[in-house]
Amino acid sequence: MARARTSDSLAWVGIALVLVVTLAPFLWLVMMAFKPAEDIAAWPPRLFFTPTLEHFATLLRSDFMRSFGNSLVTSTVATVAAMVLGVPAAYVLARMERRAARRLGFLILLSRMVPPIAFAVPFFLAYRYTGLLDTLAGLALVYLTFSLSLVVWMMRPFFAAVPPALEEAASIDGAGPWYAFLRVVLPLALPGVAATAILCFLYAWNDFFFALVLTRTEARTAPVAVVGFLNYEGWEWGKIAAGGTLVMAPVLIFSIAVRRFLVHGLTAGAVKG
C-alpha cells in the first residue's frame, strides 16, 4: 500500500510539472495582455497588477480585426471545402480493392510528406500570374490543398469499419449509392467527421508560413498581423500579447466545446484503422 501511494504521489507530481511547463507560457501571455504598459517591462516581473483593457481597445481600433476576420473566413471555407471533397473520396477509397487503395492513398499522402517550403515558390509564382496573390480565395485554396489528404486519411478507417452489409441491405430496400452513403454510412462516421473538421480548421487557423508568403495587406491573417507588431520602432509587447490571446481564444473555446467528439473520433480512428 505504501509503495502504491508513493507511486501515485510521484505520478501526480510529474503531471503537475508537465502542466506547469506547458501552461506557463500561455498564462504569461494572457497576463501580459492585461498588464499596463509600464508593468510589462518591469523588473522583477510583477505578478500582481491592476488589469487593463487598453491593449485590446487599441487592437479593436486597428486593422487587426480585419486580419482576424480573414483568418476566420479562410479557415472556415477551406475546412468546409475539404470535408465536402475529402469525405466522399475517403469513402470510395475505403471500398476499393485493398492493393489499389494503398497505392492511391500513398499518392494522396504525398502532399503531407513534402515540407511546405517546397511549395512556397511554385504557389507564389502561380498566384502572381493568376492574380490570386494576396487574396482570401488563394489562401483558402492552399489550405484546401493540404487539408484534403488529411481528411482522406483520417476518414478512411471510419468508413472501412462500417460493414458493407448495411449498404447492401439499404440497396435491397431500394436505396441508391448516394442515399446509402448519406443516410446509412455517414451518420455512423460522424465522430470521425467532427474530429477531422476540427483538425483541418486548426491547421488553417494556426498557419503562419503560407499566410506570410502569399499575402500582403488585403488577405493578411491574424498570426501574421501579430508578428507585424515587431517593427523598427520597437516591440509592442502589449499588442503582441493581446493579439496572441485573441488568436488563441477561439481555438481553446472551440476545442473545449467539442472535446468529446475530438477525443472519441481520434481514438476510434486509431483503434479501427
Would the pLDDT of 259 be above 50? yes
Number of neighbouring beta carbons within 10 Å of residue 145? 15
Would the pLDDT of 96 be above 80? no
Most confident of 193-202, 204-213, 230-239: 204-213
Burial class (CB in 10 A: 0-12, 13-18, 19+), 62: middle
Domain boundary among 35, 52, 69: 52
d(CA 273, CA 271): 6
Which of the pair, 173 or 67, is modelled with greater confidence? 67
**Per-residue pLDDT at 267:** 55
Would the pLDDT of 75 be above 90? yes
The whole-number average pLDDT for the span 150-175 is 82
Which of the pair, 209 or 235, is modelled with greater confidence? 209
**Per-residue pLDDT at 271:** 45
Shared domain for 34 and 66, answered yes or no, is: no
pLDDT in tens, 100-132: 667 776 777 777 778 888 888 899 999 999 989
The answer to whether residues 178 and 235 touch, using CB atoms and an 8 Å cutoff, is: no
Shared domain for 104 and 188, answered yes or no, is: yes
d(CA 194, CA 132): 30
Shared domain for 69 and 138, answered yes or no, is: yes
DSSP reduced 3-state for 116: coil
pLDDT confidence band for 4 (50 / 70 / 90): low
Q: Pull the grid cell for residue 181.
A: 452513403
Q: How many domains does the chain contain in total?
A: 2
Would the pLDDT of 273 be above 50? no
d(CA 210, CA 120): 7
**Per-residue pLDDT at 13:** 83
Shared domain for 30 and 100, answered yes or no, is: no
Burial class (CB in 10 A: 0-12, 13-18, 19+), 158: buried
Shared domain for 266 and 155, answered yes or no, is: yes
The whole-number average pLDDT for the span 150-168 is 83
Dihedral sign from CA coordinates of 57, 62, 67, 72: positive
Q: What is the pTM of this model?
A: 0.81
Q: Pull the grid cell for residue 214.
A: 502569399
The Cβ-side half-sphere exposure at 105, using a 13 Å CA radius, reads 21
Which CATH number characterizes residue 75's domain? 1.10.3720.10
d(CA 48, CA 236): 21
The percentage of residues in the chain with a pLDDT greater than 70, rounded to a whole number, is 88
Shared domain for 120 and 165, answered yes or no, is: yes
Would the pLDDT of 245 be above 70? yes
86 vs 11, 75, 89, 146, CA distance in Å?
Answer: 41, 16, 5, 11
Shared domain for 1 and 88, answered yes or no, is: no
**Per-residue pLDDT at 101:** 65
The answer to whether residues 46 and 39 touch, using CB atoms and an 8 Å cutoff, is: yes
The answer to whether residues 207 and 214 touch, using CB atoms and an 8 Å cutoff, is: no
Domain boundary among 33, 52, 71: 52
Would the pLDDT of 168 be above 80? no
Partnered with residue 231 across adjacent β-strands are 234
Shared domain for 27 and 128, answered yes or no, is: no
Strands (DSSP E) contained in 42-155 are: none
Most confident of 59-63, 91-95, 136-140, 231-235: 136-140
pLDDT in tens, 21-60: 888 888 888 888 888 877 877 777 777 778 888 888 888 8
The whole-number average pLDDT for the span 92-102 is 74
pLDDT confidence band for 189 (50 / 70 / 90): confident
pLDDT confidence band for 232 (50 / 70 / 90): low
Shared domain for 104 and 20, answered yes or no, is: no
**DSSP label at 217?**
S
Shared domain for 215 and 92, answered yes or no, is: yes
Q: Quote the domain boundaries for residue 59.
A: 53-272
Got the DSSP string for 3-69? HHHHHHHHHHHHHHHHHHHHHHHHHHHHHHHHS-HHHHT-SS--SS-----HHHHHHHTSTHHHHHH
Sequence-distant (6+) residues with CB within 8 A of 158 are 90, 188, 189, 191, 192, 193, 268, 269, 272
Shared domain for 48 and 88, answered yes or no, is: no
